[in-house]
Copies of this chain bind each other. A is one copy, B any other.
């Protein structure tokens, strides 16, 4: 799990606990049936909206996205430059020997196509199509979290309505009204927490991670096609560097200047 997620969760939970204990009555915030209505209802709406396959897929994609070792764009550029230099020195077929060292599946497959002598347009089309389809799959995961983020508060409100309707119908004991209203509000509270602390941020993060992965893959497409076209490695490096922010570019220059050994620079 990446650090920001962890820090954010800790701060968020601390804030809620502070708010709960500050009022001196933390037990007021616990109610199993409230949790059932809010969480169960929100989940039910989302399950109806998607298929079981989508959820199975989500369970596979989620851990990957959160555990993935971040792909360094610096090392990717360096690797592509090295491959480009090698291809110009020894020919495209020489790239075959590098394939085992490359860990990125997408780059590996693209180089295979290059070594096989497939035409550039077909390589671009095929890689772009794969990118588009990956983006659609990611979009479905994001869409599930967005649906959850909308349904949890809605079911929180439904739970509060349930509580209020019950409460107002039978106001026999006025001393219980306060406690009953308090209980009715707990579902709205659960719905807001589930949406704002889990679903909205996760949906945003998945979107960001997906965008990031697409950009890395676009760099790979640019780089591989440039290698195949036998372009000057420096021109390619210049173009790939435009994907970096000014700060990243300085870091990259520093890394290159640091003369890091060839072995250490392998894309990880």
Q: Among B118, B133, B196, point to the contact of A151 (Cβ < 8 A).
A: B196
Q: Among B29, B47, B118, B169, point to the contact of A8 (Cβ < 8 A).
A: B47
Number of copies: 5
Number of A residues, CB within 8 Å of B: 100
A52 within 8 A of B: yes
- Are A49's CB and B200's CB within 8 A? yes
- Are A45's CB and B197's CB within 8 A? yes
Contact segment of A74-82, A83-91, A240-248, A256-264: A240-248
Q: Among B18, B208, B239, point to the contact of A36 (Cβ < 8 A).
A: B18
For the complex, what is the distance from the CA of A252 to the CA of B22, rounded to whole Å?
A: 57
- Are B192's CB and A161's CB within 8 A? yes
- Are A158's CB and B193's CB within 8 A? yes
A254 within 8 A of B: no
Query: Chain B residues near A151 (CB, 8 Å)?
Result: 196, 200
Query: Chain B residues near A181 (CB, 8 Å)?
Result: 168
Q: What mask results when residues 4 to 26 of chain A are scored 1 for a CB within 8 Å of chain B, else 0?
A: 11011111101110111011110
A114 within 8 A of B: no
Q: Among B16, B50, B204, point to the contact of A4 (Cβ < 8 A).
A: B50
